[in-house]
Chains A and B, each alone.
Chain A
Amino acid sequence: MYRDYGPKGVKFFFIYKSLAHPELAGNYVQPFTLEERLAHARQAQKQLGATVPWIVDAMDNRLKHALGDRPNSEFIIDPKGVIVRKRAWSFPAEVRTDLETLVGKVEKITREEDVKLNIQLPLKAPAERGVVARITRPRMQAIEMKPVIKPKAPPFYAKLRAEVDADLLQTGEGKLYLGFHLDPFHEAHWNNLTEPLEYHLSLPDGVKIAKSKGTAPKVKAASDSDPREFLLDVEEWPDDKPITLTVTYSACTDKTCHVVKQEYTLNLRRDRDGGGARGVGAGFWEPEEFARQMLARSKRNDGKVNRKEVMGLILPHFEHFDANKDDFLDLEELKVVSEWLNKHHQPGAPAAKPKK
């Protein structure tokens, strides 16, 4: 559409916003700074392989809030800046119909197969994953969490994800998840040759949490990239009492190791920009679940998906996964795709291409 309507003067932009599903393929985590979000947008440009330009929302998520807080909404604006179409979920076929009405039809429609996208793979972490067992957390929601960012201090190599269950949010008693996830953009891994990660919660009067201090288990491997996770029982947390969390850990890049001490303020309020972490342990695809999600993309409901219906990441390897060469991927073939994604598309994975 960009190729068809760009020459007719229509401008197209993707708007980069907060992550809808942190920890999915690539194990990306919510950025803390604008520089980090800009790096996300540049990576999205590479992963999508599209030439449509991106603009990036500010860290206060002003554009997302101003335009209705949906993850994949779409707007058409007229030359005077007036909204002439809006939909909650992007639907390219309808955008084409809209543009035919607003601007006119094009002589030759560019089809998906005419476009050769230079799709690139997600970032990889510099050390293995799958070394430390993940906590399979119940269905939870992100809460407001503010990192204390100090000038000239090291970056947040590991970023906190704080989630609570529905009970805690509603009653002040329930489960609190603290996950320290390495940010693949900083290319750091845990240094397991020194003391493991430690957190400390400073609890104001009226807040009761059984384990206000915690230490991650010692790991035998010298380094890894798995998150350090804790699931805490909260006896009492009034929503007007913020908690201060301090974390100390050692992380290494390919050049040097850093022991960092970082601080956060946690509020018992749902973070509407936090997104929903997905998958088993929120990091890896469960094969059956993944396959069924992929099959749900097909409108035919015939238990298989074609090239147009699979996610872009799989597209370059479609022939490899199509074991019976029928030009479709079925449940069993999609399970193999999931295993491949788990093995090769998590940071630290050894190779990107499936073996032939």
Chain B
Amino acid sequence: MRLSAFFLLPLIVALQGQVAAQQGKKKNEADFVKEKPAVGEKLPDLTVYSPDGKEVKLSSLRGSHVVLTFGCLT
């Protein structure tokens, strides 16, 4: 069956969009990895808080592997 340009064009545009989005994600990751602080550098020793308001120094988390993930309500 031969697909007409009428059907092919939106398909190509959609695929190009997906490819561009993937490339954008990859570039974002590549840029992020190059930014400071880089892998191999120390986590800055900043003071943040526990949800009940107690101060937490990031250096106090040392001693084991730590996974930190940023997030918020929306």
How far is it, in angstroms, between the C-alpha of A169 and the C-alpha of B44 when the chains are bound?
33
- Cβ B32 vs Cβ A13 within 8 A: no
Flag A5-26 by CB within 8 Å of B: 1 or 0 each.
1000111111111111111111
The verdict on A353 contacting chain B, using a C-beta distance below 8 Å, is no
- Residues of B in contact with A, size category: 35 or more
- Cβ B74 vs Cβ A70 within 8 A: no
How far is it, in angstroms, between the C-alpha of A82 and the C-alpha of B52 when the chains are bound?
27
The verdict on B23 contacting chain A, using a C-beta distance below 8 Å, is no
Residues of B within 8 A of A45 (CB): 51
Task: Name A27's closest neighbour in chain B (CB-CB).
Answer: B74
From A57-65, A197-205, A315-323, the one touching the partner chain is A57-65
Residues of B within 8 A of A23 (CB): 74
- Cβ A55 vs Cβ B49 within 8 A: yes
Residue among B44, B65, B74 making CB contact with A78, cutoff 8 Å: B65
Known: A12-B67, A40-B72, A76-B66. A81 touches B50 (CB 8 A): no
- Cβ B61 vs Cβ A77 within 8 A: yes
The verdict on A74 contacting chain B, using a C-beta distance below 8 Å, is yes
Flag B51-68 by CB within 8 Å of A: 1 or 0 each.
111001011011111111
Task: Name A85's closest neighbour in chain B (CB-CB).
Answer: B39
The verdict on A28 contacting chain B, using a C-beta distance below 8 Å, is yes
Residues of B within 8 A of A11 (CB): 61, 64-67
Extra contacts besides A28-B74, A81-B42 (19): CB < 8 Å: A9-B64, A10-B65, A11-B66, A12-B66, A13-B61, A15-B68, A16-B71, A21-B74, A34-B49, A38-B52, A53-B50, A56-B50, A68-B35, A77-B61, A79-B63, A79-B64, A80-B42, A82-B40, A88-B29
Q: Which residues of A contact B (CB under 8 A)?
A: 1, 5, 9-26, 28, 34-35, 38, 40-45, 47, 53-58, 62-64, 66-68, 70-90, 95, 99, 102-103, 122
Closest 4 CB pairs of A and B: A88-B32, A24-B74, A77-B66, A56-B49
Chosen A-B contacts, 16 in total, with CB atoms closer than 8 Å, are A11-B61, A12-B66, A12-B67, A15-B71, A17-B70, A19-B73, A19-B74, A53-B50, A58-B49, A71-B71, A74-B67, A79-B63, A81-B62, A82-B43, A88-B28, A99-B67
